[in-house]
Structure 1
Amino acid sequence: MAKTLISFGHGYSAAGLAQRLLPLGWTIFGTTRSAERAAAIRETGVHPVVLADPNDLDQQIASATHLLISAGPDANGDPTLARFRDAITSARHLEWVGYLSTTGVYGDHQGGWVDESTPLTPSTRRGQWRVDAEAEWQALSLPLHIFRLAGIYGPTRGPFAKVRNGTARRIIKDNQVFSRIHVDDIAQVLHASIQRPNPGAIYNVCDNEAAPPEDVIAHAAVLLGLPIPPAEPYETAEMTPMARSFYAESKRVRNDRIKQELGVELLYPDYRAGLQALLDQD
C-alpha cells in the first residue's frame, strides 16, 4: 500500500521528516492556518491544507497510513483532536501515529537525570498542557508513539545570528542545564520509528550532552571569532516572563532508548558538533 502521511501543524520538525520521506515516494499532506505558509509548504513537495478550508481532509485521513502531530496544545486542549478526533479514530489504515511532545513534561529536576519512566511533574502551564495532551492521545486506540523533544535547533534556528548582531546574552543561573536536539536528528528518529513501529512507545529525543545555555553562546562566539558576550546573573537580568520561564527547569535527559530500540546514531551528538555543522552550511 502506498504510504501517506498527514502532518498536522506542518512546521520545522515535520519538514525535516518530509525531506526524508518524499524521495521514497511518500505522499504527504501538511496542515497550516496560513495561505502564505501553504505556498511555502507546496514548494517543498508537500501538499498543503489550509485549515480554514479543510479540503476534504477527513477523506485524506481515512486513507492515511501515518499521522504526525506537531500542533501544540493550549488551555482548550489538543487542537488536532478537537477538530479531527472522529476522523482519526475512524481511520482504518493507520500503521503509525507520532505525537511531538516536549521534555518539559518532566518539570524541574535541579540538574538531575530523567528518562522515559520518570514521573511527569511539569512546572509550567505549557508543560501541563503537554501532559494532558499526551494522555488525551494515549486514551485512543491508535498505534501511538510519543516523542519528547528537547530544545530544537538547526538551520535558521541557532545562536549565530544573535551573536553576530550583538543581541546574544549569557545569563548565568547556578546548576542550569538544558538538553538540545538538532532538527536533522529529530527527522532521523521519527524515520527510524516509522521503520520499526512499536505502538505505545515513548522516546526522549535529545543529544548526549545537556549543557548550560551560556556555554552554547560562548562556543558560538568562539566559532565566529567574535567576543564572548558578558555574563549576566539570572537574578538581576531583565527578561520577559516567557524568557524567564525557560530557566524554571533544569534537567539532564537520557536518550538511551532511541539508540538501543531504534538503532539511532546521532548525526550531532552534542552542541559543538551541531554548531560546527551549521557554520559550515552557513
Structure 2
Amino acid sequence: MSELSALIVGCGDVGGRLALQLLTSGWHVSGLRRSIDQLPEGVQPVAADLTDAQIPAAWPERAPDYLVYCVAASQHDEAGYKAAYVDGLRNVLSWLQARGQQPRRLLFVSSSSVFAQQDGQWVDETAPTEPTGYSGKIMLDAERLAHDSGIPASVVRLTGIYGPGREWLLSQVRQGYRVAQQPPLYGNRIHAEDAASLLAYLLDADARGITLEDCYIGVDDDPAPLADVVAWLREYLGVTEWSDEQRVRRTGSKRCSNARARALGWAPVYPSYKEGYAAILRGSAKP
C-alpha cells in the first residue's frame, strides 16, 4: 500500500472531519474512539478506552505514518482533563512503543486556554503561556509530553470551535443574551471544518517535506468583541428582545493570530464569524 496513513485518536467532531478530508485525498485512516459506530465510513475502527492502559485489541497492525491526538475530555474537571490529555496520550505513546511503531510526526490538538492574556492584546505562538486555570495548566503538561515523546511533534492550539452541533451562542442569542460593550471582551473562533482543514494542511505539508514549527494557533482571521458577534447574530436572526440580566460565561480577552499558519499557505474557508454562522444558519433553515 503506497498511500499515507494516519491514526486519529479522538475521532469525534473535528477528528471525524479531518478523517473525511484525508480519505478524500487518498489517505488510509484509522480512528480511535469508544463508540466506533459513529466513525465516518471508510475509517478503520479502533475501539478503545484511553483510560485503560492495556493495548486495544483492534490496534492497527500497520504503523501509522502520522498520529493525530484530537480528544475531548468527557469529564470537565481537573481529573477529567488529566485523564484525557495527559494519561490518555501517555497510554497511546506506550501502545506505539509496544508495537515498535514510530510515526513521522505527532499532531497534538491543544487549546488557546494555555494563554492567560486578558487585556485584548494580540497573541501569537511566541506569547507567554501562564495559565491560571487547571485546563490551561494540564494542556501545557500534555504539550510537554508530546514534545518529549521522541516523535517529532507539532502542537495545534485551537480557539473556540463552533459549527453544526456547537451552537451554544446561537441558543443564547435567541434568548436575548446581553453582554457589556465596554471594555470589549475579545473572543477567538474557528469553524470546526477549518480546524480540521488546518490539521490536514499540516499533515500534507509535512508529507511534502516542509519543515513544520513546533506550535500553531488555529483561529480565523477576525478575533472580535463578543458584543459585536452578539449584535450581528441578533440582527441576522431578527431577535428584538433582551434578557433581563447581563451574562458572560467566561473571562479573559485576547486576540489570537493565525499569521504563522497562513504563512505556511493555509487559509480558513470561514474567515470570520459572519461567514461561519451564516453557513450554519443556512444549513439549519427549514425549506
Q: TM-score, normalised by structure 1?
A: 0.83
**Distance between the aligned counterparts of 1:258 and 1:271, measured in 2?**
18
**Distance between the aligned counterparts of 1:228 and 1:115, measured in 2?**
38
Fraction of identical pairs, as percent = 26
Q: One-letter code of the match for 2:258?
A: N
- For 1:147-226, what aligned pairs fall within 5 Å after superposition? 147-158=156-167, 159-164=169-174, 166=175, 169-172=177-180, 174-197=183-206, 198-226=211-239
**Match of residue 10 from structure 2:** 9
1:92 shift after superposition: 4.3
CA contact (8 A) 2:8 2:67 kept: yes
**Match of residue 47 from structure 1:** 44
Residues 109-157 of structure 1 show CA distances to partners (whole Å, capped at 9, x for unaligned) of 3111111011111121101000111011111221211100010011121
- The two structures, once aligned, show a CA RMSD in angstroms of 2.5
CA 1:88–1:54 in structure 2 vs 1: closer, same or farther (change >3 Å)?
A: closer
**Distance between the aligned counterparts of 2:282 and 2:183, measured in 1?**
32
**Distance between the aligned counterparts of 1:57 and 1:40, measured in 2?**
16
1:277 shift after superposition: 1.6
- For 1:232-271, what aligned pairs fall within 5 Å after superposition? 232-233=245-246, 237=247, 243=249, 246-247=250-251, 249-261=252-264, 263-271=265-273
1:162 shift after superposition: 4.2
1:93 shift after superposition: 5.0
SS at match of 1:29: strand
Residues 59-113 of structure 1 show CA distances to partners (whole Å, capped at 9, x for unaligned) of 44x6111111012572456133332222334654522321100111111231111
CA contact (8 A) 2:46 2:59 kept: no
**Match of residue 64 from structure 2:** 64
**Distance between the aligned counterparts of 1:253 and 1:231, measured in 2?**
32
CA 1:188–1:270 in structure 2 vs 1: closer, same or farther (change >3 Å)?
A: same
**Distance between the aligned counterparts of 1:175 and 1:161, measured in 2?**
21
Alignment: residue pair count: 264
**Distance between the aligned counterparts of 2:213 and 2:155, measured in 1?**
8
SS at match of 2:239: coil
1:39 shift after superposition: 1.3
1:203 shift after superposition: 0.5
Q: Residue 100 in 1 paired to residue 109 in 2?
A: yes
Structure 1 unmatched ranges of 5 or more: none
Residues 195-247 of structure 1 show CA distances to partners (whole Å, capped at 9, x for unaligned) of 112355211110122122233233222112222534744xxx5x8xxx4xx31
1:258 shift after superposition: 0.7
Structure 2 unmatched ranges of 5 or more: 74-79
* Structure 1 residue corresponding to 2:95, chosen from 74, 87, 91: 87
CA 1:47–1:58 in structure 2 vs 1: closer, same or farther (change >3 Å)?
A: closer
**Distance between the aligned counterparts of 2:22 and 2:244, measured in 1?**
43
